[in-house]
A and B are shown apart, each in its own frame.
Chain A
Amino acid sequence: MGARELYDTEQALKLPGPKRVQRIHEEAQMISADHILVLDEEPRPTVSSRIFGANGILVRVLYFISPALILVVWEIMARLGWVDVRLFSAPSLILKSLVPVVVSGELWMHTLVSVQRIVLGFLVGSLAGVLLGLLMGLLPPIRAALGPMVAATFPIPKLAIMPLILLMFGLGETSKVVTVAVGVFYLVLINTMTGVINIDRIYLDVARSFGASKKDFYLTVALPGALPMIFAGLKLGMGTALLLIVAAELSAARAGIGYMIWRAYDMFDIERMFVGLIDMSILGYLLSILLDILERIVIPWKEH
Chain B
Amino acid sequence: MYDSSQTHSAVENILKNAGHSSVRSSPDALRLPAGTKIAVRDISKVFRTRAGKIVALEHMSFMIREGEFVCVVGPSGCGKTTLLRILAGLERQTAGKVYIVKGDNERTVMTREGSTISRDSRPLTSIVFQEQSVFPWLTVKQNVEYGLRMRGVPGEERSRIADHYIKMIGLAEFANAYPHQLSGGMKQRTSVARAFANDPEILLLDEPFGALDEQNRVLLQQELLRIWEGSRKTAIFITHSIDEALILGDRVIIMTARPGTVKAIVDVDLPRPRQVTDLKSQPAFLDLFRTIWGQLSEEVLKTRELERSQKDRARTRRSDHRSAF
Contact = CB atoms under 8 A, between A and B. Distances in A.
A190 B180 CA distance: 27
A216 interface: yes
B126 A140 contact: no
B135 A208 contact: no
B7 A225 contact: no
B216 to A, nearest CB: 22
B150 A197 contact: no
A208 B90 contact: yes
Interface in B136-150: 136-139, 146-147, 150
Interface in B1-48: 1-2, 4, 6-8, 10-15, 18-19
A57 interface: no
Interface in B248-275: none
Main secondary structure of the interface of B (DSSP, over half): loop
B150 A216 contact: yes
B36 to A, nearest CB: 23
Contact of B125 (A204, A205, A209): A209
Interface string B80-114: 00000100111000000000000000000000000
B209 to A, nearest CB: 18
A207 interface: yes
Contact of B133 (A147, A196, A206, A211): A206
Interface string A56-95: 0000000000000000000000000000000000000000
Contacts of B171: none
Contact of B129 (A143, A205, A213, A301): A205
Main secondary structure of the interface of A (DSSP, over half): helix
B161 to A, nearest CB: 14
A137 B11 contact: yes
B225 to A, nearest CB: 24
A19 interface: no
Interface residues of B, number: 40
A212 interface: yes
Given A197-B11, A208-B90, A301-B179, A144 B150 contact: no
B133 to A, nearest CB: 5
B180 A303 contact: yes
A151 B2 contact: yes
B138 to A, nearest CB: 8
B7 A140 contact: yes
B132 interface: yes
The listed residue with most B CB atoms (<10 A of its CB), out of A148, A208, A213, is A208
Interface residues of A, number: 43
A210 interface: yes
B131 interface: yes
B228 interface: no
Given A209-B125, A216-B150, A194 B137 contact: no
A206 B134 CA distance: 8
Contact of B146 (A190, A202, A210): A210
B123 interface: yes
A278 to B, nearest CB: 33
A166 interface: no
A224 B6 contact: no
A189 B47 CA distance: 34
Contact of B151 (A143, A211, A300, A303): A211
A147 B6 CA distance: 10
A169 interface: no
A202 B89 contact: no
A211 B125 CA distance: 10
Given A140-B12, A204-B14, 4 more contacts: A190-B2, A205-B85, A207-B14, A207-B150
Interface of B: 1-2, 4, 6-8, 10-15, 18-19, 85, 88-90, 123, 125-127, 129, 131-133, 135-139, 146-147, 150-151, 178-180, 194, 198
9 contacts: A151-B4, A204-B14, A205-B133, A206-B146, A210-B147, A212-B18, A214-B18, A221-B135, A301-B137
